[in-house]
A and B are shown apart, each in its own frame.
Chain A
């Protein structure tokens, strides 16, 4: 473990849909959380790789055994293949950030990884096992806490991090958040995709639809509230490309997360000391990829009206806000602390 340049600090946002890394060498990278192994010799010859990661794996999905090894931001259980996929994914991500784990120039890596707010100790231990050998010292924190730390919003704020697998909540009260300060819901990007697909299959029984198509349509056209224009997409029907109007289904799927998120915010706010509740209501921070759905921020803000109203701000860069927060934590932690985590 020799590195004359000193340790490389990294912050990692381990997402169900995307994994992002921010490193102290200036690198910021994001990959889709997919890993694929060629299904047979033919596929291996065509793909010329033994394993594919990210977008490449998704695009080659007909030729690979495709794994999305993170389920709601946590390692899936019960499959050696998924565990291996997580290792491959993290290795690829760290590689993109400039980490070298072989040879004389092996990088000494200190990583802070964000996980869902209510991840259990067993999940954290699994993650530690998966990262063994890939990093030299590891700190695991809740994703919304990492966001709050990165934004210096550690006092009187509420972070709502809407990802693909989970929506994580964290009230910051000037201390390391406890379980009572945090919540995790699985109403998030994936639940929207699943609902959209279900509704479209019910309406267009003959259309050939997949979860990948539903996800892509949500990412391109998702909205909450009044439609600005009708949303029309193309999908095969008995092999023939056919135009489908998905406006109503898309709106209803996207709006399905509004009520649970609003309810959870309203449940958390009364737990704050009464004199600080207004401050927290006016300092709600919205992050995560799914928070980018058009009209969502306004709908959630409207949901705070019955409890006195509030102000919800969206972060500037939802893709890297979590990993940037992790990096800030990694940099701020003194060597003596890292020694305990090695």
Chain B
């Protein structure tokens, strides 16, 4: 067989394999660590290792939330694993403030994902001619849901049609469904119309006046009173969820930028940012808000009007989510 025919045969085999994989709804899997011979034993160890802190936390967390202002007691021990010590759960009442805990000790598998298409009903979001943010976010959300479902994830959309939901209702839905991840999809509007880009948020404070304004816009119609907000902010269990949300946001932002700039070469990477969006405050799982495009930019508005580009956005979000889920699962495999 000549080199040319051998090359052809090899490429053809790869083309067939790719088609067979697509038919089965598969994507190339992330590289996984091969299982070692002592895997069952190690799994049992890992299960024990993770079960203890998780159980302790599950008992302690509600108690801590009921007493957010308790101040008594010594400062916390450094390192989250100290919480796993077999102590009387009531002792944890001494911990008045949320404590940082390494999220790697909670390698819970990602199964259920809530997708939140931003805005809806008479809350249109940003508008540019015929393009309305609430329609774009729903369209992208539905495309993303299809991709995730094909891969076996349980997916819930906070809205499946053009209806108005308060931010509180969105967060409540994710919490009541015990979702593992929460992804809120939005389309940005930036005063400087030359800017085009993607940015991903996780919960945090900001001093940036533009971000404050963005948060104020997105938090409109939140459904929360000021008193609720105070309780929410005090009750955030910052350590685990914030770390996980930051990692999650990083994954999604990298995927959005690297995928979309291939079809939108002038796209800017506006980065991972923190801002106090209500949906991020009140959700109880790793949560992000992705601004997937800038409707204020003429070229991006043109791209957004095209289904192919919205597919690209959904696929980029999907890759980011799957990448994060794979990270979580690999952490589980690595053990402590």
A-side interface residues toward B, CB under 8 Å? 71-72, 74, 76-77, 116, 118, 120-125, 128, 138-141, 145, 149, 152, 154-155, 174-176, 179, 183-186, 260, 263-264, 267, 329, 332-333, 337, 340-341
Contact = CB atoms under 8 A, between A and B. Distances in A.
B161 to A, nearest CB: 14
A162 B19 CA distance: 24
27 contacts: A74-B307, A76-B307, A77-B307, A120-B311, A120-B312, A121-B22, A121-B315, A122-B146, A122-B147, A125-B22, A125-B25, A128-B23, A139-B16, A140-B22, A154-B7, A154-B11, A175-B10, A176-B14, A176-B18, A179-B262, A185-B263, A186-B303, A186-B308, A332-B9, A333-B16, A337-B12, A337-B16
A175 B14 contact: yes
A155 B5 CA distance: 12
Interface in B193-236: none
Majority secondary structure of chain B interface residues (helix, strand, loop or mixed): helix
B59 interface: no
B265 interface: yes
B14 A341 contact: no
B111 interface: no
A209 to B, nearest CB: 21
B22 A263 contact: no
Given A149-B11, A154-B8, 20 more contacts: A71-B306, A74-B307, A77-B307, A118-B263, A118-B312, A120-B311, A121-B22, A122-B147, A125-B22, A145-B15, A149-B8, A154-B4, A154-B11, A174-B11, A175-B14, A176-B11, A176-B18, A184-B263, A186-B303, A333-B12
A341 B312 contact: no
Interface in B94-129: none
B308 A340 contact: no
Given A72-B308, A152-B4, A185-B263, A124 B11 contact: no
A145 B14 CA distance: 12
A121 B311 CA distance: 10
Contacts of B20: 340-341
Contacts of B265: 260, 263-264, 267
Contact of B143 (A122, A185, A267): A122
Contacts of B307: 71, 74, 76-77
A149 B12 CA distance: 9
Given A121-B27, A139-B15, A140-B22, A71 B311 contact: no
A138 B27 CA distance: 19
B298 interface: no
Contacts of B18: 176
Interface of B: 4, 7-16, 18-20, 22-23, 25, 27, 143, 146-147, 150, 262-263, 265, 303, 306-308, 311-312, 315
A74 B308 CA distance: 8
Nearest to B315: A120
**Which 9 pairs from chain A and chain B are nearest by CB?**
A176-B14, A337-B16, A120-B311, A176-B11, A139-B19, A340-B20, A120-B315, A77-B307, A176-B15
Among B8, B9, B11, B150, chain A packs the most CB atoms within 10 A around the CB of: B11
Contacts of A340: 16, 20
Contacts of A179: 262
A238 B303 CA distance: 35
A139 B315 CA distance: 22
A263 B25 CA distance: 33
A155 B143 contact: no
Nearest to A340: B20
A184 B309 CA distance: 11
A124 B11 CA distance: 20
Contacts of B150: 121
A122 to B, nearest CB: 6
Contacts of A152: 4, 8
A118 B147 contact: no
A337 B8 contact: no
A268 to B, nearest CB: 10
Contacts of A122: 143, 146-147, 311
B229 to A, nearest CB: 39
